Amino acid sequence: MDKNKKILIAGAGIGGLAAAACLLQEGYDVEVYEQASELGEIGAGIQTSAPAVKVLHHLGLAKQMSDVSVKPQAFEFKLFDTGEVLHKVPLANTHEESHGAPYYHIHRSDIHKILADRVLELNPKSVFLNAQAIGFEETDDKVYLNLADGRKIEGDILIGADGIKSAIRDQIVGVTPPDFTGQVAWRATVSVDKLPKDFMGKIVAIWCGPKKHAVVYYLRSGELLNFVGCVENDKWQNESWTVKADWQELKDDFAGWNEEIQIIIDNIEKDQCYRWAMNNRKPIDNWRSDRAVVMGDAAHPTLPYMASGAVMAIEDAAVLMRSINASDDVTDALDMFQRNRMERTARIVIESTEHGDLYHLSNREEFEAGFGKKNIAKERAEWLYSYDPLTVDLI
Ligand SMILES: Cc1cc2nc3c(=O)[nH]c(=O)nc-3n(C[C@H](O)[C@H](O)[C@H](O)COP(=O)(O)OP(=O)(O)OC[C@H]3O[C@@H](n4cnc5c(N)ncnc54)[C@H](O)[C@@H]3O)c2cc1C
């Protein structure tokens, strides 16, 4: 496509910034409109697998990523009370050798900053803050992004990267009400210097128990421990990443769990426990109008059980860049993007939902029954991590 085309992006989250960096690097004229008053990210850790890390390397960010990330040795599934290791999936060198890029743990604010710095390096004037998208209009040859303050921004393509409550998706698809899963996620971090020496290996520990599970891993070159506790609780329905809840409720939720979990919870700052109600949204099969398209959580919000939400958003950025490069026609390019991303993202969304149930169990027998039917290591190697958004054939 003609590099003079102006591409508007609503939302400067991980997905919007990854798309902006990919497109700016190709030479397009890109403007990002973010509702927040400053660029930044909240929350704790994310896991990024090879498909996303390859895109970050393509953006010249290999050193920035390795400087602040942790490379875990393995996934270890553990029983909630005894700590018995039920199953192990190697990561580290095995992941890198098999899939061509490392598996990383990284703080959300670190990856967000790495991407934001790259975008601003490519064009310091490309990001506009205090700019809330409320919808868009399109003609045969232009699209207009409407902002809450009354401004109307003209462009050739509009990318809705405005997250789980996307205004752009609402306009394209209609409002899709979420289904509450009956599960909530506790999120917190612990400074490692508060923990006993050599507290835990450099792994992703997935603690499986009745009606709940916890995921624990290191962040920030090993300075922080990230804790996510997913609990069946149908009384808390607030879908916000910024809402705190009472530490004592977290402690009570994991009463009777292994001593390692107790040590982590006891060392979490009492006023720094966040709780997020997890909603499910069925995959949608229309992501675009003629000149606007959604990506990332706006297109395929997912439960976090395959640690793939941000990974999918970064994969989207690369495939969107390639689709825009491949066609002179805006609608064809957006259609190519949707066509090439829908099946994979729907599979991840559906399997993530199934994984939640798999992790909630009481003993080794239940674990073996569930995991006997599902060979996570094999499946993930075969299709989840082997995908390369920069080279996969586009149809
Ligand atoms: C507990 C938990 C753990 C997770 N763990 C992982 C993990 O390990 N690995 C992984 O890959 N993913 C993980 N995820 C998911 C991942 O964080 C998201 O999928 C990812 O952040 C999506 O990026 P995005 O850019 O599409 O949306 P967001 O990160 O939500 O960004 C959207 C941006 O748009 C802005 N915005 C919103 N509305 C508007 C508007 N109207 N106008 C302008 N701007 C707007 C927002 O302020 C924000 O900056 C996890 C999620 C949860 C809840």
Would you list the DSSP string of 10-77? E--SHHHHHHHHHHHHHT-EEEEE-SSSS----S-EEEE-HHHHHHHHHTT-HHHHHHH-B--SEEEE
Which residue, among 15, 119, 3, has the nearest Cα to 61 in the 3D structure?
119
Spatial neighbors of 343 by CB under 8 A, at least 6 apart, are none
Give the closest residue (by CA) to ligand 1 atom 30: 163
User: Is the distance from the beta carbon of residue 278 to the nearest atom of ligand 1 less than 6 Å?
Assistant: no
**If you measure from the C-alpha of residue 165 to the centroid of ligand 1, how many angstroms do you get, rounded to a whole number?**
10
Specify the higher pLDDT residue, 387 or 86. 387
pLDDT of 180 strictly over 90: no
Give the closest residue (by CA) to ligand 1 atom 27: 163
Residues 276/301, Cβ–Cβ less than 8 Å: no
pLDDT in tens, 116-165: 999 999 999 999 999 999 999 999 999 999 999 999 999 999 999 999 99
> Residue 359 catalytic?
no
Specify the higher pLDDT residue, 233 or 339. 339
The answer to whether the Cα torsion of 335, 340, 345, 347 is positive or negative is positive
Cα torsion at 145, 146, 150, 151 (round to 10°)? 0
Distance CA 386, CA 395 (A): 18
Distance CA 46, CA 308 (A): 9
User: Is the distance from the beta carbon of residue 227 to the nearest atom of ligand 1 less than 6 Å?
Assistant: no
Highest-confidence range of 220-229, 230-239, 365-374, by mean pLDDT?
A: 220-229
- Catalytic site residue from 33, 103, 104, 217: 217
Best of 129, 136, 162 for a ligand 1 pocket test (most atoms within 8 Å of beta carbon): 162
**If you measure from the C-alpha of residue 298 to the centroid of ligand 1, how many angstroms do you get, rounded to a whole number?**
9
The alpha carbon of residue 163 and the mean position of all alpha carbons in its chain are separated, in whole angstroms, by: 10
**What confidence score (pLDDT) does residue 281 get?**
83
pLDDT band at 236 (very low <50, low <70, confident <90, very high): low
% of the chain surpassing 90 pLDDT: 79
**If you measure from the C-alpha of residue 162 to the centroid of ligand 1, how many angstroms do you get, rounded to a whole number?**
8
Distance CA 382, CA 376 (A): 10
pTM for the predicted model, two decimal places: 0.95
Strands 45-48 and 204-209: unpaired
